[in-house]
Structure 1
Amino acid sequence: MAKINQQLIAKELGISRATVSRCFTNHPGINPKTRAKVFALASRMGYTHAEKREPAAHQRTRSTLAFGVLVCVDLPNFDRTGYGNPGQELLNGLSEVARVQNVRLDLHFVRPEDLHIDGPSYEKIISEGRKLWDGVVLIYPFPQSIVDELKSTFPVVSLVEQYGRTPLDCVDVDHHRGIERLVEHLHKQGHERIGFFTWRYPVEASWALRRYGAFVEMMTARGLVIDPADTINVSPREVLELPQAHARVRERIKAGTTAWVCAADHQAFDLLLDLKKHGVKVPQQVSVVGFDGLAPPRGALRLTTVEIPFHQIGVTGGKRLLDLINKRFDSEQHILLNCDLRKGETVAKPKKPRAKAKG
Structure 2
Amino acid sequence: MNFCSKLIGITTMASINQEALAQALNLSRTTVSRSLSNHPAISAETRERVQAKAEEMGYRTSTGGPIRRRRSNKPLNIGVLIGMPRNNLGMATFPAVLQGIRERAAVDQITVDVVSQDPETFQPNSGHQPLFRHIRSGDWRGLILIYPFAPDAVETLARKISTVSVLTEYDHLPVDTVDTDHSDIINLIGRLARRGHRRIGFITWDYTVCGRWASRRFAAYAEGIFQYGLEFNPAWTANVHTDRERLTTAEAVADFAAHQTREAGVTAWACAADHQAYQLISDLHARGLEVPRDCSVTGFDGIEPPPGLPQLTTLRVAHADVGGSAAARLLNRVLHPTAPRRKILVETSLVVGTTVAAPPARAASPAP
Q: Please classify the TM superposition score into its range, dividing by the shorter chain length.
A: 0.7 to 0.9
Out of 156, 168, 174, which is 1:149 matched to? Answer: 156
Q: Distance in 2 between matches of 1:298 and 1:266?
A: 13
Tell me how far apart the structure 2 counterparts of residues 71 and 14 of structure 1 sit (CA, whole Å). Answer: 17
Quote the Cα distance in structure 2 between the aligned partners of 1:149 and 1:343.
42
User: Does the alignment pair 1:259 with 2:265?
Assistant: no
TM alignment of 1:40-55, pairs within 5 A: none
Instruction: Identify unmatched segments of 5+ residues in structure 2.
Output: 1-5, 14-71
Q: What is the distance in 2 between the residues matched to 1:13 and 1:158?
A: 23
Match of 2:57 in 1: none
Q: Which residue of 1 aligns with 2:229?
A: 223
Question: Of residues 231, 241, 251 in structure 2, which corresponds to 1:235?
Answer: 241
Q: Distance in 1 between matches of 2:148 and 2:237?
A: 22
Deviation at 1:181, TM superposition (A): 1.1
**Residues 1:140 and 2:151 are matched in the alignment:** no
The answer on whether the counterparts of 2:265 and 2:364 sit within 8 Å (CA) in structure 1 is no
In the alignment of these two chains, the number of paired residues is 297
Structure 1 CA distance for aligned equivalents of residues 181 and 363 of structure 2: 39
1:247 and 2:258 correspond: no
1:125 matched to 2:131? The reply is: yes
Give 1:205's aligned residue.
Answer: 211
Contact 2:301 2:317 in 1 (8 A): yes
Aligned match of 1:313: 322
- Structure-2-length-normalised TM-score: 0.76
Residue type of the partner of 1:248?
F
- Give the SS at the match of 1:123: coil
Aligned-pair distance for 1:80? 3.3
Counterpart residue type for residue 265 of structure 2: G
8 Å Cα contact 2:149/2:211 also seen in 1: no
Residues 1:216 and 1:322: Cα distance change in structure 2 (over 3 Å)? same
Q: How does 1:1-359 map to 2 (within 5 A)?
A: 62-74=73-85, 77=87, 80-81=89-90, 83=91, 85-119=92-126, 123-131=129-137, 132-176=139-183, 178-237=184-243, 238-242=245-249, 243-254=251-262, 255-354=264-363
**CA displacement 1:12-48 (0-9 Å, x = unmatched):** 9999xxxxxxxxxxxxxxx769xxxxxxxxxxxxxxx
Identify the residue that residue 56 of structure 2 maps to in structure 1: none
In the TM superposition, what is the alpha-carbon distance from 1:355 to its structure 2 partner?
10
Q: Assess if the C-alpha contact under 8 Å between 2:181 and 2:345 holds in 1.
A: yes
- Write the distance in 2 (CA, Å) between the matches of 1:102 and 1:250: 52
Query: Are residues 13 and 216 of structure 1, via their aligned partners in 2, closer, same or farther at CA, if it must alter by over 3 Å?
Result: closer
Partners in 1 of 2:364 and 2:157 — Cα distance? 62
RMSD (Å) for aligned C-alpha atoms: 2.3
Give the match's secondary structure for 1:152.
helix
| Paired residue type of 2:143 | V
Determine helix, strand or coil for the equivalent of 2:130.
helix
Question: Residues 155-189 of structure 1: CA distance to partner in whole angstroms, max 9, x if unpaired?
Answer: 1111111112314211111101x211110110110
Q: State the Cα distance separating 1:339 from its structure 2 match.
A: 0.7
**1:153 Cα offset (Å):** 1.2
Return the offset for 1:117.
0.9
| SS of corresponding position for 1:214 | helix
Q: Alpha-carbon deviation of 1:119?
A: 4.3
Alpha-carbon distance between aligned partners in 2 of 1:354 and 1:152, rounded to the nearest angstrom: 58
SS at match of 1:107: strand
Q: 1:225 to 1:13 in 2, by over 3 A?
A: closer
Which amino acid in 2 is paired with 1:63? K
Quote the residue 2:42 is aligned against: none
The CA deviation at 1:105 is: 0.7
Q: 1:13 to 1:305 in 2, by over 3 A?
A: closer
**How far did 1:62 drift?**
4.7
| Identity %, equivalent residues | 35
Corresponding letter in the other structure for 2:286 = K
Q: Distance in 2 between matches of 1:117 and 1:111?
A: 12
Greater mean alpha carbon deviation, residues 166-175 or residues 294-303: 166-175
